[in-house]
Amino acid sequence: MSRTLIHSQSHSQVATERPVFVSTWNFGKPANEASLRKYQGGGSILDAVEEGIRLTEADKSNASVGDGGKPNAEGKVQLDACIMHGPGTKAGSVGGIEDIAHPISVARAVMEKTPHVMLVGQGAKKFALEQGFASENLLTAKQRKEWRAWRREKRKMEAGENNHDTIALVGIAADGTLAGGCSTSGLAYKMPGRVGDSPIIGSGLYVDNEIGAAGATGVGENVMRFCGSFMVVEYMRQGLSPEEACAETIRRIARLDGRPIEDLHINFIALNKKGQFGAAGTGNGFPYAVTYPGFSDILQS
Ligand code: ASP
């Protein structure tokens, strides 16, 4: 195992103003900015997180989240999402939901309107329809064409670098309240029914209102066996900076997994209660977005 392959910043960055939003990948920047607008328009930190993720879910050109996401091996788009609100450690989640464009909002409805944390498959869809969400075909012509080509060639799903991505977005309000969400179509051409880390509380996302929040993207199987986001938050509790907490989580996962670190394809973002943020990944620089009043940019871990 080589430590040098973990990409993380060597210093801790801190936002000078609040709220602060931190999210995965380049597409996190417009999502963060939508979150900031929502918050500045009077929304809560939870409303803001949901709004940012909804923007990514609605973008049909984004093939890894929401509408326009890559389908499973049978050509069906199955979406995973979860949301957490710091006060009271509230959580809601949906796994493998079909035909619903905004799983993050269904996850929020699970959190706020049911006594449960997670609904999956047909039950999640039934609940969404009862809540007034529309049933829509989420498979775009482009993704159908690519899926057909994949099927013709009878390629095996490769859990590699380029067939997935996720929006994980975490935020802290002016009063220190934390919230976060995570949404994905998961690994492209996954086995029907496969659920990844993204909707699993503690794996794809974790929010602890005393300490901070963390989110994950990458090969979910290499995150969910380790409660990855929970581990990041626990390292922050022990005093590590967000960057170091993400990097230490990756080191520990790699050690336990045993494979070369570059084969894991995992990335984490983190934000602590002081407004410090950071990220780390196993690839060659992981882009993540940071936004607060007067600042919005894409940084590289
Ligand atoms: N973590 C997601 C999953 O495994 C995919 C990704 O973030 O790239 O479903």
The confidence score (pLDDT) of residue 12 equals 56
The atom of ligand 1 lying closest to the CA of 194 is 9
Which among 242, 244, 254 is positioned nearest to 218, based on CA atoms? 254
Which among 143, 113, 149, 150 is positioned nearest to 130, based on CA atoms? 113
Which among 119, 124, 73 is positioned nearest to 100, based on CA atoms? 124
Please provide the distance, in angstroms rounded to a whole number, between the alpha carbons at the two ends of the chain.
Answer: 19
Which residue's CA is the closest to the ligand 1 atom numbered 4?
A: 220
Q: Determine the 3-state secondary structure of 275 from DSSP.
A: coil
Confidence at 4, pLDDT banded by 50, 70, 90: very low
Q: Is 217 in the pocket of ligand 1 (CB under 6 A)?
A: yes
292 Rama class: left (phi>0) / alpha (psi -120 to 50) / beta: beta
Confidence at 9, pLDDT banded by 50, 70, 90: low
Express each pLDDT in 196-218 by its tens digit. Answer: 999 999 999 999 999 999 999 99
The confidence score (pLDDT) of residue 160 equals 53
Mutation probe of ligand 1 site: the residue of 183, 185, 197, 223 with most atoms within 8 A of C-beta: 197
Confidence at 63, pLDDT banded by 50, 70, 90: confident
For residue 43, pLDDT over 50 is answered with yes
State mean pLDDT over 112-132. Answer: 98
DSSP class of residue 174 equals: T
Given the DSSP bridges, would you call strands 13-14 and 266-272 parallel, antiparallel or unpaired? unpaired
The confidence score (pLDDT) of residue 48 equals 98
**pTM (2 d.p.):** 0.95
Express each pLDDT in 216-234 by its tens digit. Answer: 999 999 999 999 999 999 9
Q: Is 278 in the pocket of ligand 1 (CB under 6 A)?
A: no
The atom of ligand 1 lying closest to the CA of 220 is 4
Q: Is 184 in the pocket of ligand 1 (CB under 6 A)?
A: yes
Q: Is 69 in the pocket of ligand 1 (CB under 6 A)?
A: no
Express each pLDDT in 235-262 by its tens digit. Answer: 999 999 999 999 999 999 999 999 999 9
The atom of ligand 1 lying closest to the CA of 185 is 9
Which residues, other chains included, contact 154 with Cβ-Cβ below 8 Å and sequence gap of 6+? none
Strand partners, 212: 208, 272
Express each pLDDT in 129-139 by its tens digit. Answer: 999 999 999 99
Ligand 1: centre distance to CA 142 (Å): 21
Angle at 277 between CA 250 and CA 292, to 5 degrees: 145
Q: Which residues are catalytic?
A: 166
- Scanning 41-167, the segments in alpha helix (DSSP H) are 45-58, 103-113, 121-130, 141-152
Q: Determine the 3-state secondary structure of 20 from DSSP.
A: strand
The confidence score (pLDDT) of residue 19 equals 98
The confidence score (pLDDT) of residue 16 equals 87
The atom of ligand 1 lying closest to the CA of 159 is 4
Question: Average pLDDT of the chain?
Answer: 93
In percent, the amount of the chain with pLDDT more than 70 equals 93
| 67 vs 137: which has the higher pLDDT | 137
Q: Is 164 in the pocket of ligand 1 (CB under 6 A)?
A: yes
15: tokens are: 């936002």
For residue 174, pLDDT over 60 is answered with yes
State mean pLDDT over 156-179. Answer: 84
Confidence at 276, pLDDT banded by 50, 70, 90: very high
Q: Is 215 in the pocket of ligand 1 (CB under 6 A)?
A: no
